[in-house]
Amino acid sequence: MLLSKAVDIFQILLDKYGSPEIEDSECVDFLNIGINEQLNRLFPDSEGGSVNYEFDTNATANIQPLVWNVTTTMDSSGIVTDTVLNAALQTATSDPNASYFRIGSIGLTYNGVIKPVKYIRQNNLWAFSNNVFKQPTISQARYTYIANGLQFYPTDNTKTLTINIIKKPRVLTESDLSTECEFGDYEMYNAIALAVKAAGISVRDEELQQDVRLSGLQIAQ
């Protein structure tokens, strides 16, 4: 779907209620909100949620344009910084502004075989490190999050890391009206509905907000 079409649909829905006119630039801002909200709902966090982007192939297919694999190595301290991850993603996507949203999976190449690198909770880190049966090894490496990126245990900067990344959606601007949105039509229709809902709050149109809730779209949840 072209961004211009998404803007037209948004404006048509808003115009139905005689709501105050919204400039295209403002409309695109609301669409960015809707797109990000649609993506966030596939990644349950501390606020709860029952849908997961890998619940089944259909759920994953909804964000297929945002799923990328990159390769890199940790540094001498066992760290892969966000800067390094984003640079690798920018190369893979040919998008100089690309940045990662979530990590899908990580593999470490050991003796020619890619071994899974599992996430380890901070509460378990030192307990596992001192347990001969659970301590991280190169063939069974672990990672955790730190302020500037990912920390790997143990450290070995000679090994290749293959990292599956969920990319943040491109931030759209009014100059992108003639470009294709990264989401497919189905996801964009839901993102538009979320954008209209946000606009309804902005223009204080209670009828608009209520109709969006009753529309039967997923955004009514």
**DSSP label at 48?**
B
Q: Indicate the pairing of strand 100-110 with strand 161-167.
A: antiparallel
Question: Is 178 part of a structural domain of the chain?
Answer: no
Q: pLDDT tens for residues 14-59?
A: 775 455 567 888 889 999 999 988 888 888 666 555 567 776 788 7
Whether residue 175 is contained in a domain is answered as no
pLDDT over threshold 50, residue 216? no
Chain mean pLDDT for the chain = 85
* 204-212 LR contacts (CB < 8 Å, sep 24+): 205/17, 205/19, 207/17, 208/14, 208/17, 208/19, 211/17
**Which domain covers residue 44, as residue numbers?**
3-60+183-220
Number of domains, the chain? 2
Which residue, among 165, 142, 145, 158, has the nearest Cα to 65 in the 3D structure? Answer: 165
Mean predicted confidence (pLDDT) in 126-135: 87
pTM of the model: 0.81
**54 lies in the same domain as 74:** no
Q: Rounded distance, CA 77 to CA 155, Å?
A: 6
Q: Mark whether 112 and 159 lie in a shared domain.
A: yes
Structure tokens at 87: 């640079």
